[in-house]
Amino acid sequence: MCWPGLKGQMNGKPLSQDPLIRNRIAEFACSIEAVRTLAYRVADQQNRNEMGLMDAASVKVFASELLEKFGQIATDLLGPHGQVKHSKWAKLNGAAEYNYQACFVPIVSMGTNEIQRNIIAWYGLGLPRMK
């Protein structure tokens, strides 16, 4: 990918006018809305004292991997300027770089995503447990 200059422009145009970038951001926005809806569903189940294991595991996998995707998109878009902080060159004061380094934590913590996928397979889809 070609990186933006300091003014956030590529080929003389703002990044927001690049169709590929718009496409990535729009797709990401759709994913956020999808996981938000799923999270509300889990909250509603908990309010009613129901335990939706598959939905809860799905939210955890979906949201944590979305955060990782955000780290990739943000660092891609900001290029080298997104990888520095406390500098006049830093974009968003290094928030993209910080997120990129920290985004693996939710994938591993609170039960790894591999285990969450097992829960989805066993309790949600009724697949047999592995021996």
Ligand X SMILES: Cc1cc2nc3c(=O)[nH]c(=O)nc-3n(C[C@H](O)[C@H](O)[C@H](O)COP(=O)(O)OP(=O)(O)OC[C@H]3O[C@@H](n4cnc5c(N)ncnc54)[C@H](O)[C@@H]3O)c2cc1C
Of 61 and 77, the one with the shorter C-beta distance to ligand X is: 61
Q: Among candidates 63, 59, 62, which has minimal Cα distance to 44?
A: 59
Report the nearest approach of ligand X to the CB of residue 109 (Å).
3
- Which residues in the 15-54 window bind ligand X by CB under 6 A? none
111 part of the interface to ligand X, by CB under 6 A: yes
101 part of the interface to ligand X, by CB under 6 A: no
Which DSSP string corresponds to 21-85? HHHHHHHHHHHHHHHHHHHHHHHHHHHTT---HHHHHHHHHHHHHHHHHHHHHHHHHHGGGGG--
Taking contact as CB under 6 A, which single stretch among the options 37-45, 76-84, 89-97, 104-112 is the one that binds ligand X? Answer: 104-112
Point out which residues bind ligand X (CB under 6 A): 105, 108-112, 114-115, 118
